[in-house]
Amino acid sequence: LLAAAASLSVTAKPGESLLIKGLRFGALHAGGFAECLIDRLSVGFWWIGSIDTNHLEQHSITSVHLSVFKSLIDKGLFKGYPIAEGETFEVKPAVAGATVVGAIEYEIHDAGDMTQDMPNGSMAKEYLFLNYGKNGAEIAIDGTGTLDESRNPSEYPAFPFGEVV
């Protein structure tokens, strides 16, 4: 049985490194996002807002659809999060005071197998992340609108939502 917590984390012990291969999180009661951090550095930002639109959903064995996280891995677009020896991977709600319910799935490797400079690592030069956008102004019922504001934290580039990278 999983219980609500302010955050969930796992640390690579001495002599080992980890590869985060799955994130299974239930929707927040108030909707919102979950942030993934390696030693307090944000490396991922995922929508877990509702039962119908959760990108890290806790799917059962009978589910037809995979989570967005799992689909990206299965298609070879994302390898997961490498956690070097001694580093801590944490998942927490983006809203202070909220809680998450879920599980972190990972593989245990030898200490040097997963390094900080690998893609999506804490010192990487290459990251894969989803950039969520919203419309800054209300859209009329019979009108159109522009997604012109990023919903991601400020450490992520706001492109293509009104910003140039």
Domain boundaries defined on the chain: 8-115, 131-165
pTM: 0.87
Q: Which of 54, 49, 38 is nearest to 98 (CA)?
A: 49
d(CA 10, CA 27): 21
| pLDDT tens for the 165 residues of the chain, in order | 577 888 999 999 999 999 999 998 886 666 689 999 999 999 999 998 776 678 887 665 556 667 889 899 999 999 999 999 999 999 999 888 888 888 999 999 999 999 999 999 999 999 999 888 888 888 888 888 888 888 888 888 888 886 665
d(CA 2, CA 58): 11
For residues 21 and 80, the answer to whether their CB atoms sit within 8 Å is yes
Helix (H) or strand (E) holding 72: helix 68-74
